[in-house]
Amino acid sequence: MNDITFYQRFEADILAGRKTITIRDKSESHFKAGDILRVGRFEDDQYFCTIEVLSVSPITLDELTEQHAKQENMTLVELREVIKAIYPSESEFWVIGFKLVQQK
């Protein structure tokens, strides 16, 4: 069983170390620094790696910066659009910083 899932389109960026944060809603704000998580694809829950949580901090859409976008391997405009598409009715989020520990 996986602890967290990502859309398949993000898998290659995570495995290559280009995506080092994820922005989630309150339902996934319980993670804490030091947690080791099994990661699966959202579409089929197939395990593809293990990550270590480095940090968890609250943020709003307006507080997102170019640095956050870089850590997501996107532009700031793309990042805001993706978050709005995934969480259309949310305004408060949590930035989860992580590092790749093990690939499948």
CA distances from 40 to 10, 77, 78 (A): 11, 26, 23
22 is catalytic: yes
20 is catalytic: no
* Residue among 5, 11, 20, 72 flagged as catalytic: 72
81 is catalytic: no
* Residue among 5, 11, 19, 20 flagged as catalytic: 19
Residue carrying structure tokens 């859409």:
61
List 97's β-bridge partners, or say none: 21, 55
Dig out the tokens for 49 from the structure.
């790696």
Side-chain half-sphere exposure of 83, counting CA atoms within 13 A: 27
* Residue among 20, 22, 26, 92 flagged as catalytic: 22
Q: Of the candidates 99, 95, 94, 93, which has an alpha carbon nearest to the alpha carbon of residue 35?
A: 99
Which active-site residues does the annotation give? Answer: 19, 22, 72
